[in-house]
Amino acid sequence: MDDDLQEDIRRLADLIGEAERCVAMTGVRLGATEDTEAKAAGSAWGEAASLEVLLTEPARFWDNWLPRAVEASQREVTPAHVALARLQDAGIVAAVITQAVDHLHGKAGDGDLIEVHANVLSCRCTRCEDVYALAEVQALAAAADDGVPRCTREECGYPLRPTGTLWGEPLVEQAVIRAWDMAAWSDLFLVLDTQLRTDPMAMLPSVPLQRGTRVAIVGTTRTHYDRYAALVIPRPAPEVLVGVADILAPGA
């Protein structure tokens, strides 16, 4: 490990070690800061995964959404997810707020997790709210003539929809409220691998900053909060997180 990396890890570990209420925020994919958010928002995928397309062209919606949801659901927990989970288990990180829909933070550990977009692991009926696991949704879509999965409950049969947020929809309200509460409650707010370009989550670090709470930012892309942060580490979050966990939660 190079000395500069070690120094960055030590500085962040010191900050986290001094905090009593460290809350972390991650982007759409931990370990991939690269333009994922911007691409998703501006791309054909973003457009096809919208509420409007679900309502007006459901076959096209499912044709686009399902394979991507399946891909996200099959991603594997990375050492970075494990490191963050170790810090949570050890009581060093109190909560994780994430924009990811792959539920990898939930798979890595059972700490307090706030998923502001929910996740892609399930769908629900648009009428009776019955919940279906993604694998069931796939089977229902494959069996349907038009590729649109529908509720199997007797006398229902309404189309399903993803449980999580679609483009053009507001985020999960309860999760956003909790995210704002936790950010205000924190005494160190840790921003990991997110470009902070998508509102309203792009606003979240301003909550601790306005209270004079320290913010630390780790990630390869610059953010508009860098100049206000107590510490900025312009490296991919995974190598830093693993190092910090080794210092603060050894053996965990």
* Residues found near Zn ion in the complex (CB under 5 A): 125, 127-128, 130, 151, 153, 156, 158
| Smallest separation, CB 213 to Zn ion (Å) | 44
| Smallest separation, CB 128 to Zn ion (Å) | 3
Helix (H, G, I), strand (E, B) or coil at 33: coil
| Smallest separation, CB 54 to Zn ion (Å) | 16
C-alpha span between 198 and 223 (Å, rounded): 12
Q: Which is nearer to Zn ion, 158 or 167 (CB)?
A: 158
What letter does residue 191 receive in the DSSP assignment? E
Give yes or no for a contact between 172 and 149, defined as CB atoms under 8 angstroms apart: no
Residues 118-122: contacts with CB under 8 Å, at least 24 apart = 118/163, 118/164, 118/165, 118/172, 118/175, 119/163, 119/164, 120/68, 120/69, 120/72, 120/73, 120/162, 120/164, 121/73, 121/163, 122/163
Give yes or no for a contact between 155 and 109, defined as CB atoms under 8 angstroms apart: no
Q: Which is nearer to Zn ion, 151 or 166 (CB)?
A: 151
| Smallest separation, CB 172 to Zn ion (Å) | 20
Q: Which residue has the tokens 């921003």?
A: 191
| Smallest separation, CB 137 to Zn ion (Å) | 13
Q: Which is nearer to Zn ion, 149 or 238 (CB)?
A: 149
| Smallest separation, CB 122 to Zn ion (Å) | 14
| Smallest separation, CB 14 to Zn ion (Å) | 53
Q: Which is nearer to Zn ion, 58 or 219 (CB)?
A: 58
Q: Which is nearer to Zn ion, 158 or 228 (CB)?
A: 158
Give yes or no for a contact between 83 and 241, defined as CB atoms under 8 angstroms apart: yes
Q: Which is nearer to Zn ion, 45 or 158 (CB)?
A: 158
What order do you get walking across the sheet with 188-192 strand by strand?
A: 113-115, 93-98, 22-26, 188-192, 214-218, 231-233
Q: Which residue has the tokens 């979050």?
A: 237
Give the orientation angle of helix 3-18 with respect to helix 237-248, to 10 degrees. Answer: 60
C-alpha span between 223 and 208 (Å, rounded): 16
Q: Which is nearer to Zn ion, 128 or 131 (CB)?
A: 128
